[in-house]
A and B are shown apart, each in its own frame.
Chain A
């Protein structure tokens, strides 16, 4: 029997058609299922964090923003302003509210844009399952608020009511305040939208674009807003995009593959030109700063949904393989999601970070500098209230990173001590991860054996070392 014959036999096996009872049921009740899935994921990650006693908020950016609020250093970042005005206890639920808001708005926007039901269903499903989305439950992220504001702006501008459309200016202007790259991205979206709807003869587009450009220039020229928000962690291109390679968020490897399929199947299709254009804008941005993985993930998830639908809407010659492939692909995506959920309680800061850094706050003099791995700087500041050597988002971060590398790789005390003294380091905070990554037989960990270093506190592999000042006789 040939494969062609088999195809005829099983033409009815169309997984993504209304005839498929399971799929049509899912499509009909998608909102209920999506909400259930979100609740399930949220409680799973919250529960696993609770079990290990991990702080509710995670990620460098969360603690950077909290540090700013504590110091009263209010920037024009709308998220900082929002956090400054709401009660401290409510801050913990802001990430969850923002994620839910952006998801709801996105779902509404898909309806408004009349995106095919199949595509919008899988787009939302993949988004909920993506590590980017799960991570946003526990992180205060500027990009999360940016996305919500942008989506809200477009929902309002698509409205038939003129007054509501005018109100779109508020979210659009707010969204332009984050950083220059976000403002450029927003401007691109607006230009695409207005170009597509150019037949509508009205003044609003001109006002919206002019306001966005104006705010962007104001930010850049007068408020010195950075080109990119962050970075708040050490950047690695592959892992930051593909969570399965150890990244903080991003999307799963299978989703990337399906997104590539999506790119291939939509290649040269007119409707998708704009999506490519957005990719062309976001990918170079990602190469500069991987913090914008949030936006890149969204675009890739859209292509993944398109790829997935095209892959399984098409008639296959080998229908039995079609079913297998569908199951493997879904299992692969679920597997990526579960792997990430399994890791959520390992993401920084850990319970021992909190305990040891709090110990520093209570047992060391104020105005001292604590040396640790660069990515720990925000936690060091927040929990110990002591200054780290530098922050990853400092303007001179590159130069300071080199200094830290010199410190951690110094082969002799003659090289190390002047560097520590010059940077006024009094304490060193070593995490288990640093112990794993730094060489033991040479360099910094080896030099800790010197008498000028004293282990003053340790808990579950996290250690605090004091770097003693040179005594007068030795100095003499």
Chain B
């Protein structure tokens, strides 16, 4: 194996090891992961996706692209759950280091610069959600594999790679659409700049566009008919939309994407747009523009868009390093060439590794004690019961307790999502017992779970209306479970 490939392998292994150490040092998965885990287990048991979920929101239709869940269900047949949920997602994310390397090499032809890109990608703080078992752990590497294959589309091997990766991406996540919009912008910019577009690229784009749309119509036919084009927005309730699409904050972006890739990326984007040199870098810039448009239109979540930006900027760093090296060689500073690399590596490590580890340690996961309370519910409550929890903990109810929740973070297709979001807040904050009982009755909720996470979220120490005569504590500890004993009777 050549030296550079060995270094690349080492970067991949180090990235993976650090990720796994962090993943296993945190006992549980992020809240949303349990939603996906439940679907994976359902596919494993029945062979079909759970499109009619009897527990989420008390029972509703859930529509999703199922490739990620099928893939994980396949591994689940012969691997233990911990491997599926902690090791495979981290391997997938760590694989982006390899794609970044090859993409950067395609753009710059500079081995060292490409290895640096790979290193930055490996330790991007925004990608350090090590306990996350979500679709993004597959869609992100697939997206960058698709982009890399597209850059080499004239080779038959890469054409096959492109077709396979794009097909899988279309069956995994809506981010395939982001790729298509990126391609569209690329063609548009090429046209504006009078650059000759490769015919094969245009053909691949046409194929991808029709295939993607076909898949979406196949899976979401009924939603398109019922909701029309508004279906592509995620139906996030207005009172929590700021959590999913926070106002853009430069310090946060610098922290999550890391300062060096952001600054160098901005330089390269500026330089390429106004003094276009490299058409391949130009393609990546098109994806930056597409991501910006998607974020602005609130089509992808802020964290997803930052992850996408982060990897692209990491790849574009190779261009910057390449330019810098060339520049140094041309000037009297060429004597300092030997120290550029170690200084760069040191700066990169300092600016990425620490924020990355800090990001991983700050992941929002339930505690063992909280999970214990949800497990207890499964064994001690009737099967048809509804359980009140915070929105974030909704998936814990459906996964561990196997009971109906009032709400979780899968908002698509939920008709009364605004009302539910308002009511769930009222149920944790109202001092009025009658209002609470009325709402609990409306949503058929017989149990209330009050965890430390709920305390922290709502800034309360107890549920004010939970008096003993109407709310009997049946599980005591840090987390409490109440049985609702009273009901409101309407007088006619």
Chain A: residues with CB nearer than 8 A to chain B? 1-4, 6, 236, 238-239, 244-246, 253-254, 257, 311, 316-318, 321-322, 324-325, 328-329, 331-332, 335-336, 339, 343, 436, 441
Contact = CB atoms under 8 A, between A and B. Distances in A.
Given A311-B206, A318-B203, A331 B225 contact: no
Given A318-B200, A325-B210, A335-B218, A1 B226 contact: no
B217 A253 contact: yes
A interface: dominant SS = helix
A379 to B, nearest CB: 21
B278 interface: no
A335 B218 CA distance: 8
A334 to B, nearest CB: 11
A441 B229 contact: no
A3 B214 contact: no
B163 interface: yes
A6 B200 CA distance: 11
A451 to B, nearest CB: 10
A401 B207 CA distance: 45
Given A3-B159, A246-B228, A254-B210, 14 more contacts: A3-B156, A3-B200, A4-B154, A6-B156, A238-B228, A238-B229, A317-B199, A321-B203, A321-B204, A324-B207, A325-B210, A328-B214, A331-B214, A332-B213
Contacts of A246: 224-228
5 contacts: A2-B155, A244-B217, A253-B217, A343-B225, A436-B415
B228 A239 contact: yes
A370 B368 CA distance: 61
B234 to A, nearest CB: 18
Nearest to B415: A436
B217 A321 contact: no
Contacts of B224: 244-246
B163 A245 contact: no
A245 B200 contact: no
A316 B209 contact: no
Contacts of A325: 203, 206-207, 210-211
Interface in B193-210: 199-200, 203-204, 206-207, 209-210
Nearest to B442: A441
Given A332-B210, A335-B217, A339-B221, A2 B156 contact: yes
Interface string B215-245: 0011001001111110000000000000000
A257 B209 contact: yes
A238 B155 CA distance: 40
B184 to A, nearest CB: 12
A316 B203 contact: yes
B153 interface: yes
Nearest to B206: A325
A290 B204 CA distance: 35
A311 B203 CA distance: 10
Contacts of A317: 199-200, 203
Contacts of A336: 217
Interface residues of B, number: 28
Contacts, number: 82
Of A3, A311, A316, A329, most buried by chain B (CB within 10 Å of CB) is A3
A244 B203 contact: no
Contacts of B3: none
B225 A2 contact: no
Contacts of B200: 3, 317-318
Contacts of A332: 210, 213-214, 217
A441 B224 CA distance: 26
Given A257-B213, A328-B211, A245 B229 contact: yes
Nearest to A243: B225
B224 to A, nearest CB: 6
Given A246-B226, A253-B217, A335-B218, A441 B419 contact: yes
Of A4, A318, A328, A335, most buried by chain B (CB within 10 Å of CB) is A318
A318 B211 CA distance: 16
Of A1, A317, A339, most buried by chain B (CB within 10 Å of CB) is A317
A325 to B, nearest CB: 5
Nearest to A441: B419
A192 B14 CA distance: 72
A441 B438 CA distance: 13
Nearest to A236: B228
Nearest to A322: B203
A3 B209 contact: no
A429 B356 CA distance: 61
Nearest to B216: A253
A335 to B, nearest CB: 6
B226 A318 contact: no
A431 to B, nearest CB: 16
A296 B229 CA distance: 20
Nearest to A1: B156
B213 A254 contact: yes
Of B153, B155, B204, B225, most buried by chain A (CB within 10 Å of CB) is B225
4 closest cross-chain pairs (CB), A and B: A245-B228, A246-B225, A317-B200, A325-B207
A166 B218 CA distance: 52
Nearest to B226: A246
Nearest to A261: B206
Contacts of A311: 206
Contact of B210 (A238, A257, A318, A343): A257
A411 B221 CA distance: 35
A332 to B, nearest CB: 5
B210 A329 contact: yes
A108 to B, nearest CB: 32
A311 B209 CA distance: 14
